[in-house]
Every structure is written in structure tokens, then in C-alpha cells.
């Protein structure tokens, strides 16, 4: 069936240098997965924390399901992520030793299961952000010049 991307966190690529990436399952309720399938998800300000050797996703906004009645979910509730113990220990070591952060990159459906791609990342300085914007502008200008010739 393949992979269907539902939501990407574009802000993460602007704010952080991305290093190691991991795929994590999510513990969801029935109305949450229905809202995800409709694409009503925002990863913009979300982040991942590790607590008691378990990873949790905070501040991820999944909109209410329209047909969900009293069993509807909370929009910004904390959701548990499903990762291997070795992956969590590796991430925890990098966070403590090197000062990395864990950021959600992309939410996608794989064979009907909702998965979250998370990454170890380090925050960019302001001059790094300006450099990236300048490079993007240059490549855009080059592409435009090549297209017009």
C-alpha cells in the first residue's frame, strides 16, 4: 500500500539542524485516527520528551472529528510514541551528552497505521537561518534563469 504523508513540520527544518531520523508508532483513540486520515493535523509547535524510558509527543494538534460525539478526543493531549528500547536509550544518551532535541518531522500513514517520523536535532543560530534562506534564493534564481533560456 505504501506511505501517505499527512503532515510535515516545515518549521523544524528552518529552526534545527536535523541529524538521526526514527519512525515511531503512536497510541491513538478512534476519533484521532479518523481526524488524521482526513488530514486535520498540525505538527508546528509540537515536541517530543522522554520520561521513564518512554517517548511522548506534546502539543500536537489533531482537530476534533466532526462525527465524533461525546467520545471525541482532546485536541492537544499528550500521546505516547512506540519506539524500541535501544532507540530510546540512544536518543536519551545524545540528549544528555550533546544537547540534542527531539523534533517531529512528518506524520504519515503506512499500511493503515499512523506513524511519526522524529529526528534528533540541534537548534540553528540566526546566521545559519539567514545562510539557508540565501542559498534557497540563489537556487531559485538559478532554476528560473535555466527555465527562461
Q: What is the pLDDT of residues 69-92, one digit of tens each?
A: 787 888 888 999 999 999 999 999
pLDDT tens profile 100-125:
899 999 999 998 899 999 999 988 88
Distance of alpha carbon 18 from alpha carbon 11, whole angstroms? 12
What's the CA gap between 63 and 65, in Å, rounded? Answer: 6
What proportion of the chain, given as a percentage, has pLDDT over 90? Answer: 41
pLDDT of residue 68: 75
Q: The pTM is what?
A: 0.81
Mean pLDDT value across residues 48-62? 91
Instruction: Render pLDDT for 16-46 as a digit per residue (tens, 0 to 9).
Output: 889 989 999 999 888 888 888 888 899 988 9
Spatial contact of 110 and 2, defined as CB atoms under 8 Å apart = yes
| Long-range interactions of 56-61: CB distance < 8 A, separation 24+ | 56/80, 56/81, 57/26, 57/81, 57/104, 57/116, 60/104
Amino acid at each position: 500500500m505504501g506511505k501517505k504523508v499527512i503532515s510535515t513540520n516545515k518549521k523544524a527544518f528552518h529552526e534545527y539542524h536535523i541529524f538521526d531520523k526514527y519512525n515511531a508508532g503512536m497510541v491513538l483513540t478512534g476519533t484521532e485516527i479518523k481526524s488524521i486520515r482526513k488530514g486535520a493535523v498540525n505538527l508546528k509547535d509540537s515536541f517530543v520528551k522522554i520520561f521513564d524510558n518512554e517517548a511522548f509527543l506534546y502539543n500536537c494538534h489533531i482537530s476534533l472529528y466532526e462525527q465524533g460525539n461525546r467520545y471525541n478526543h482532546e485536541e492537544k493531549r499528550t500521546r505516547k510514541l512506540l519506539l524500541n528500547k535501544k532507540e530510546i536509550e540512544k536518543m536519551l544518551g545524545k540528549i544528555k551528552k550533546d544537547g540534542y532535541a527531539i523534533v517531529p518531522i512528518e506524520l504519515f500513514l503506512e499500511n493503515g497505521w499512523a506513524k511519526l517520523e522524529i529526528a534528533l536535532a540541534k537548534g540553528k543560530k540566526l546566521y545559519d537561518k539567514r545562510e539557508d534562506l540565501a542559498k534557497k534564493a540563489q537556487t531559485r534564481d538559478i532554476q528560473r534563469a535555466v527555465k527562461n533560456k
